[in-house]
């Protein structure tokens, strides 16, 4: 295994058990270093300032400053820090709220184990990662107020690209799967974001799932 760079992460959770679990899950991952721990959103912002980590593992329900507000502040102040949500429950509203706030992934604590290191690596390389249960929620949340799902005038090719994005494929993997160049993939993704009127890949995936496009 060759690891050229180390991913520095901080963990924000108000349960000691979560810190033990994450430390254990990452014990053998030589390319991931847990540089700091915090227990609420205010500490999260402070630690991001202090450590400038690559990624933050963030709980949703926290005292002082909740996950949604924290994610919004971090996204605004530290746009390069990846945000991976770690939650013990999956209610639709908190999943959508966190993704609207700019989270790059959403995993359930119950699913935490050997997969955590790979999840962090995937998010770090620019993919969106959701626990299977979270994907189910996204897929089955009916669009609010609109009985007919929208297609956003997406072409069949754009929907193919979206589906691969939702599966966590990187641009290069999408290019390989569809036999097109990486720059064409970027072009398609830019069009998708524009047509769906969203800023991030994660939002596009959520919206596509809500409208049963993926």
pLDDT of the chain, 214 residues: tens digit per residue: 444 589 999 999 888 888 888 888 888 888 999 999 999 989 999 999 999 999 999 988 777 777 888 998 998 999 999 999 888 766 777 777 888 888 888 887 766 665 788 888 888 887 777 777 777 777 766 555 444 567 788 888 888 899 888 888 889 999 999 998 999 999 999 999 988 888 888 888 888 887 778 7
HEC sequence for 165-213: HHCCCCHHHHHHHHCCCHHHHHHHHHHHHHHHCCCCHHHHHHHHHHCCC
Q: Are residues 112 and 16 in the same domain?
A: yes
In the chain, what are the helix, strand and coil shares in percent, each to the nearest 5?
50, 15, 35
Point out the domain boundary residue: 86, 107, 140.
140
Residue 28: partners with Cβ closer than 8 Å, 6 or more residues away: 117
Q: Among the residues of 101-131, which ranges form H helices? A: 115-124
What pLDDT score does 1 carry? 43
What pLDDT score does 146 carry? 46
SS3 for 91? coil
Q: Are residues 125 and 181 in the same domain?
A: no
Q: Is the pTM of this model over 0.85?
A: no
Q: Are residues 110 and 170 in the same domain?
A: no
Q: Are residues 128 and 163 in the same domain?
A: no
Domain of residue 100: give its range: 7-140
Q: Are residues 163 and 194 in the same domain?
A: yes
What pLDDT score does 175 carry? 92
Give the separation between CA 58 and CA 133, rounded to whole angstroms: 18
The CATH number of residue 189's host domain is: 1.10.10.10
The CATH number of residue 75's host domain is: 3.40.50.2300
What pLDDT score does 142 carry? 56
CB 9 within 8 A of CB 32: yes
Q: Are residues 32 and 95 in the same domain?
A: yes
Q: Are residues 45 and 93 in the same domain?
A: yes
Q: Are residues 88 and 185 in the same domain?
A: no
Count structural domains, the chain. 2
Give the separation between CA 90 and CA 92, rounded to whole angstroms: 6
């Amino acid at each position: 295994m060759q690891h050229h760079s180390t991913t520095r992460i901080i963990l924000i959770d108000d349960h000691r058990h979560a810190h033990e679990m994450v430390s254990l899950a990452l014990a053998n991952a030589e390319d991931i270093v847990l540089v700091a721990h915090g227990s609420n959103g205010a500490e999260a912002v402070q630690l991001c300032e202090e450590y400038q980590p690559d990624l933050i593992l963030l709980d949703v329900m926290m005292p002082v400053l909740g996950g949604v507000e924290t994610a919004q502040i971090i996204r605004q102040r530290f746009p390069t820090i990846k945000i991976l949500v770690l939650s013990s429950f999956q209610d639709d509203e908190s999943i959508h709220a966190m993704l609207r706030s700019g989270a790059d992934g959403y995993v359930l604590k119950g699913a935490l184990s050997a997969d955590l290191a790979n999840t962090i690596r995937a998010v770090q390389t620019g993919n969106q990662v959701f626990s299977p249960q979270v994907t189910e929620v996204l897929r089955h949340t009916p669009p609010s107020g609109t009985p007919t799902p929208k297609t956003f005038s997406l072409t069949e090719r754009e929907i193919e690209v979206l589906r691969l994005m939702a599966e966590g494929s990187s641009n290069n993997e999408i290019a390989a799967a569809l036999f097109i160049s990486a720059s064409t993939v970027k072009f398609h993704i830019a069009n998708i974001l524009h047509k769906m009127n969203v800023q991030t890949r994660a939002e596009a995936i959520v919206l596509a799932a809500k409208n049963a496009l993926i």
